[in-house]
Chains A and B, each alone.
Chain A
Amino acid sequence: MNARLLERFRHGDRLALARLLTLVAREEDLGNIADQISNSKNCRVVAFTGSGGVGKSSLIGKLIETIRGQNLKVAVLACDPQSPLSGGALLGDRFRMPQRPQDDGVFIRSLAAESGQGAIAGNLGLMVRLCAGFGFDVVLIETVGAGQGESAVRDVADVVVLLLQPETGDDLQWEKAGILELADILAVNKADLPGADQVAAQVKTSMELSGHAVPVLEVSAKTGKGLADLWRAIQAIAGKHATAAPASELLRLAQQELKARFHAVLATGDASVQKIIDQFQAGKLSASAASRAVLKQLSERKR
């Protein structure tokens, strides 16, 4: 399945990369694609998170120029929310990134993220591996615009940059648990506006108290202030983190396999599973007992 597509991918066909990303987004042929993509050791994966409107897309847009200036090839995977009502999405991140149509060293892909997935698109780990396997030196991930708790991106990125902005929160805000504990770098964006230094100072004090002292930088996507420092800080941390495929990817593949089997059962019908479902719906089997029974049937089932 998809052997020709994978062959084209290996020969550096950009359209094949684009199509493979679509297949992965649709959860088609995941196991095969995962097996066929070699792990690239040299790729740095950097995630940018922070609330909506904090300037993730604009900052990434500016960093693309910085990174290209060092002659590194960069892919961007930009996540935006998908409607829980219609399934539709308006993906508007690339709108704020530079147009470089002649530059093969830049690849930007917009991804729809379903709600409840931790502010990133499903299977993002495999998408990152596709970009790395294609030969990109850097993969930048943009999350949907995480609030405080979304931490799924930690699993797929070597470096997590949390963006903050002036006029947000009092000093208690920085004492809360969540993404602040997981970020490798805190960047106060919009540092051209008043109040950025205050936020930076508050956050710095808070992080030092917690013993999780990470670099706190002031940057401005608008003026370019601090961008070179930010990129240096990212590179310094990326160098320390070894990139191995996270074990969570295994769990995700197993979950998807299970889900696919479950759907196959629902679509084509499977007497033994249907019996369990009927018993559950009739109240004869508890939810936990029924799910264990279904799990057993599904894992023994041939696809």
Chain B
Amino acid sequence: MVINGMTAKSTPLRIVLAKVGLDGHDRGIKVVARALRDAGIHVIYAGLWQTPEAVVRTVADEDADFVGLSLLSGAHKTLVPRVLDLLRAAGLDKVGVLVGGIIPESDIPELLQMGVAKVFGPGTSLEDIVAFLRQRSEAEP
């Protein structure tokens, strides 16, 4: 039986969304932030010009389940591995790393091999992102 407003406390997913490096295009990440919010997810918006170190500190302090990095600058092959290394060094291997933005098809296998959970390029539907987060968090509680 469910009584309105009295259901047991839910455990919303927590995701940090950040732009790493000097890229200043934040429309896409804001659209994603809004969609995830509307899907019942708690979005910690770290915003523009984050260093990899700052992103990892945010993920740690916020106890996030996922981190979404948006890169449109072409610096993904430098910045993403740096974030992955720092996450591992901080003992945060279990945090799912998502990458979005402009990533050439040919770079995707390399990013996945490094430990990125998924790359979402232009044209990805917002539903797909939500579905991926849900599926993965159920698979690895």
Contacts and interface: CB of A to CB of B under 8 A. Distances in A.
Interface size class of A (residues with CB under 8 A): 20 to 34
A101 B54 CA distance: 5
A262 to B, nearest CB: 8
A86 B38 contact: yes
Contacts of B1: 266
A211 interface: no
B81 interface: no
Contact of A95 (B39, B42, B46, B62): B46
Given A91-B44, A266-B3, A27 B60 contact: no
Given A15-B91, A88-B36, A90-B45, A110 B62 contact: yes
Counting chain B CB atoms within 10 Å of each CB, the highest count among A89, A102, A262 belongs to A89
B41 interface: yes
A177 interface: no
Given A88-B40, A88-B41, A90-B37, A99 B51 contact: yes
A110 B9 CA distance: 18
B80 to A, nearest CB: 17
A66 B92 CA distance: 31
Interface stretch (A18-26, A139-147, A149-157, A159-167): A18-26
Contact of A90 (B34, B58, B60): B34
Please name the 9 residue pairs, one residue from A and one from B, whose CB atoms are nearest each other, closest first.
A101-B53, A18-B63, A101-B57, A99-B54, A88-B37, A95-B47, A87-B40, A92-B45, A101-B54
B45 A95 contact: yes
A198 interface: no
Contacts of A19: 63
Interface residues on B, range: 35 or more
B63 A94 contact: no
Contacts of A91: 42-45
Interface string A10-47: 00001100110110001100000000000000000000
Given A14-B60, A87-B12, A109-B62, 9 more contacts: A18-B62, A19-B63, A22-B63, A87-B40, A88-B37, A89-B43, A99-B50, A99-B51, A112-B12
Contact of A88 (B2, B39, B53): B39
Nearest to B8: A263
Secondary structure call for the A interface: mixed
Interface in B62-106: 62-63, 90-92
B10 interface: yes
A107 B61 contact: yes
Interface string B1-38: 11100111111101000000000000000000110111
A234 B56 CA distance: 32
A108 interface: yes
B43 A88 contact: yes
Nearest to A269: B1
A89 B17 CA distance: 13
Nearest to B30: A90
Given A88-B36, A99-B50, A21 B63 contact: yes
